[in-house]
A and B are shown apart, each in its own frame.
Chain A
Amino acid sequence: MRRRFTPLLLAACMAGIPFANTQACDGLEVEAPWVREPPPGAGAVAVFMRLRNTGAAPLQIDSVSAEGYGMGMLHETVREGDRVGMRHVQAVAVPPGGAVALAPGGLHIMLMHPATPARTGDSVALTLTCAGRPVHVSVPVRRDPP
């Protein structure tokens, strides 16, 4: 699955923002997003995707949120030997012409305090904030990685 987002148009249409102000997030592409279906009792879910920057300027995701979730955070699973843990990361930077994987065992988006548990077949309406502008991503819920 490959989805191309044009934050330029999105932002301009949705908020009537002047064209030039959206330059900072130009070139962001979100590929193969998915959220792991939470087992019963698990409150938080992890969202994975590949972020690509086809533009000429560095871009950065500063925050995340999702409809129906009390909180969204950028997280990283960190490993020290065989000990693992999760840490909040302030931002995810994507260099020009580069890509960053949000993947199991590494960087991911954590969504907490759901209104209702996500189920396979649902989609989560996720918003990435890039240079102060919202980028909307519809994320399918899956039991297993694509």
Chain B
Amino acid sequence: MSAAAPRVQSNALLALFAFAVLGAGMLFAVWRGNQKPDIPGLLWPDPPTLQAFSLTRADGAAFTEANLRGRWTFMFFGFTQCPDVCPGTLSVLKQVKARLEDDASFREHGQVLFVSVDPERDTPARIGPYVRYFDESFEAATGPEDALTTLTRQIGVIFSRIPGSGDDYTMDHTASIFLVDPQLRVLSVFGLPHDATEIAARYRAVVAFAESHR
């Protein structure tokens, strides 16, 4: 009988210890979940998750949030009559794709989407050949202004028409590149100036981070 008391005590200690370990583990998990690693442009811990939108793809079919699900998508907004920033950025994205050839997540599930914010001039028929000039795999989409803003207002992209001489006009637009994960979370934003090596390195860091924070 006299041996029972220490056993009860040691069982209680063990339970207390297990509880403490469990509690610490839970606290660590919460802490880790809220930690923002040192990845520039990472939108964490509250990345916006894209809600329904509907644009028109170059081939005339619909391009919706469903076309992003299960893919890693670099998204860029511009227009075809933009001689400097847009071709420059699409060239950089072509280089990013080349630099990520050894990355299984991008090789198998990656895509680049160009969204034209100038639907008056950029018909679906025009944006297809335009993006395929940079890479055969690049996707392009556009839509009427309200369809565009259904997407752009979710991530703070702005665009506006600036009159030029005569009938000419140009577009002001957000020139950041956005990275959308397979669950439609906008995980990262890449600001100017765009550098392919930097973007590819950050992509790898973001994917590694996302895999550990499903």
CA distance A36 to B133 in the complex (A): 13
The answer, yes or no, to whether A132 is at the interface (CB within 8 Å) is no
A38-B83, A39-B87, A42-B87 known; A82-B174 Cβ under 8 A: yes
Decide yes or no: A42 and B130 within 8 Å by CB, A83-B175, A105-B192 being known contacts. yes
Query: Number of residue pairs across A and B with beta carbons under 8 Å?
Result: 80
Q: How many interface residues does B have (CB within 8 Å)?
A: 33
Interface of A, helix, strand, loop or mixed by DSSP? strand
Contact residues on A (Cβ < 8 Å of other chain), bracket: 20 to 34
Say which residue of A39, A83, A112 sits within 8 Å of B174 (CB atoms): A83
Max count, chain A CB within 10 A of own CB: residue among B82, B171, B193: B82
**B162 with A36: CB separation less than 8 A:** no
B interface SS class: mixed
Within 8 A of A (CB), among B105-138: 122, 126-127, 129-131, 133-134
Contact of A84 among B122, B130, B192 (CB under 8 A): B192
Q: Within 8 Å of chain B (Cβ to Cβ): is A121?
A: no
Q: B interface vs A, CB < 8 Å?
A: 80-85, 87-88, 90-91, 122, 126-127, 129-131, 133-134, 158, 162, 164-165, 168, 170-176, 191-193
